[in-house]
Amino acid sequence: MKTAWETLLKDSVRNPRELAGCLPLDLAGAETVTAVYPMKINPYFLDLMLQKGPTLIRQVVPDTRELLDPIGMDDPLGEENYSPVPNLTHRYPDRVLFLVSSECPVYCRFCTRKRRIGKTGAVTTRALTECFRYIRAHREVRDVLLSGGDPLLLSDERLEWILSSVRSIPHVEIIRIGTRVPGALPQRVTARLCRMLKKYHPLYFNLHFNHSDELTDASKQACGHLADAGIPLGSQTVLLRGINDEPSVVQNLMTSLLAMRVRPYYLLQGDLTRGTNHFRTRLETGLKILRHLRGRVSGLAVPTYVVDLPGGGGKVPLIPEYRLEQRGREAVFKNYLDQEYRYSEPTIP
């Protein structure tokens, strides 16, 4: 028998014709797009987006602009180039990105792995075993980040097999899971799942939320259950044109997340993924949002704004400039209210 969340997933809308029964849609356009980049919207998210409107609809409904991207790349972060074994990317010295699942609760139109999602089959046991072998052989790996797809779309049993296999590697200190499930399919966060997860501490989650319209009673409850299982929750937000590229929208999201025990981690500048040009903003837009947040809300609510550099350079932070000039030992600053202040460095060299 299927569980409630499995039934929801099975009933996902994948066909533009079916979607056209729910909202005004350029059906022919949507069909050309889904022939290249598939669509998937589960019934929970579908209901929510019909209630909330464009903030959610734009994230998951195909748009013909996806086929008109002049500069995007299939693999903008060079994940395949830094991949010693399939499904694993080892870009930084002490941590690896491990793609354990090829399914998601919804297909985000701005997905960085648009090249794969909904197009590759399930990640095989053999492929996973090769990755365990790699991690075991690389003693510098102390942090394993499970992603996909979404790791929480695996069954409890399969996910537990992966977690216990990684946990059995002595030099792995922490395990992280990246997931959109609490915001896009909160029914998946069951008591059974939480009981299983808490056996594999230290386990950290990074959740994906882009707009406070995603914060429903159900998603708040899901986050509460995970936090009660002792899992520190962070969040990642993708900066998206026409969805959350306004200071007040991000402020509202970040402070609401904190109130749900979710600590904002990254605000991500859009990657140069083919088919996502129309979602990307100028860098100045993100910097303006950061300038707005700092000082105005709890420091805990201020994420790090990062650009993941094309070609595999990794993530770099973008930080608004507060130091206006340096005159000898004296630095001139402006604070969050744009007032000038001076700070003197020590007189010893």
What burial class does residue 276 get, using C-beta atoms within 10 Å of its C-beta: 0-12 exposed, 13-18 middle, 19+ buried?
Answer: buried
**Per rule CB under 6 A, is residue 116 in the interface with ligand PLP?**
no
Token output for 167:
């946990």
Active-site residue, 150 included: no
Number of residues interacting with ligand PLP: please give it, by CB under 6 A.
7
Active-site residue, 92 included: yes
Query: At closest approach, how far in Å is the CB of 307 from ligand PLP?
Result: 11
Q: Mapping DSSP to helix (H, G, I), strand (E, B) and coil, where does residue 6 land? A: helix
Query: At closest approach, how far in Å is the CB of 231 from ligand PLP?
Result: 16
Task: Report residue 316 CA to chain centroid gap.
Answer: 16
Total Cβ atoms within 10 A of residue 302: 20
Token output for 132:
């365990």
Query: At closest approach, how far in Å is the CB of 45 from ligand PLP?
Result: 24
Q: Please select the residue that binds ligand PLP; options are 65, 67, 92, 196, rule is CB under 6 A.
A: 92
Active-site residue, 198 included: no
Which range binds ligand PLP by CB under 6 A, 89-97, 126-134, 158-166, 212-220?
89-97
Strand 323-327 to 330-334 pairing: antiparallel
**Per rule CB under 6 A, is residue 188 in the interface with ligand PLP?**
no
What burial class does residue 1 get, using C-beta atoms within 10 Å of its C-beta: 0-12 exposed, 13-18 middle, 19+ buried?
Answer: exposed
Query: At closest approach, how far in Å is the CB of 75 from ligand PLP?
Result: 12
**Per rule CB under 6 A, is residue 56 in the interface with ligand PLP?**
no
Are the C-beta atoms of 305 and 317 separated by less than 8 Å? yes
Q: Which is nearer to ligand PLP, 5 or 132 (CB)?
A: 132
Total Cβ atoms within 10 A of residue 258: 16
Calculate the CA dihedral of residues 48, 49, 54, 60 and round it to 10 degrees.
Answer: 130
Sheet with 330-334, edge to edge strand ranges: 323-327, 330-334, 340-344
**Per rule CB under 6 A, is residue 91 in the interface with ligand PLP?**
yes
Options 58, 104, 176, 265, the catalytic residue = 104
> How far is 160 from 156, CA to CA, in rounded Å?
6
Q: Which is nearer to ligand PLP, 6 or 143 (CB)?
A: 143
Q: Which is nearer to ligand PLP, 145 or 302 (CB)?
A: 145
Token output for 116:
């794969």
**Per rule CB under 6 A, is residue 179 in the interface with ligand PLP?**
no
Q: Please select the residue that binds ligand PLP; options are 145, 146, 172, 184, rule is CB under 6 A.
A: 145
Q: Which is nearer to ligand PLP, 82 or 161 (CB)?
A: 82
Total Cβ atoms within 10 A of residue 38: 14
Active-site residue, 131 included: no
Amino acid at residue number 67: L
Q: Please select the residue that binds ligand PLP; options are 89, 101, 102, 273, rule is CB under 6 A.
A: 89
**Per rule CB under 6 A, is residue 204 in the interface with ligand PLP?**
no
Options 150, 271, 274, 280, the catalytic residue = 271
Residues 6+ apart with CB under 8 A from 226: 182, 189, 194, 197, 205, 233
Q: Please select the residue that binds ligand PLP; options are 5, 66, 88, 95, rule is CB under 6 A.
A: 95
> What part of residues 291-320 is at the interface with ligand PLP (CB under 6 A)?
315
**Per rule CB under 6 A, is residue 208 in the interface with ligand PLP?**
no
Options 44, 107, 109, 111, the catalytic residue = 111
Active site residues: 91-92, 95, 104, 108, 111, 113, 271, 308, 315
Binding site for ligand PLP (CB under 6 A): 89, 91-92, 95, 97, 145, 315
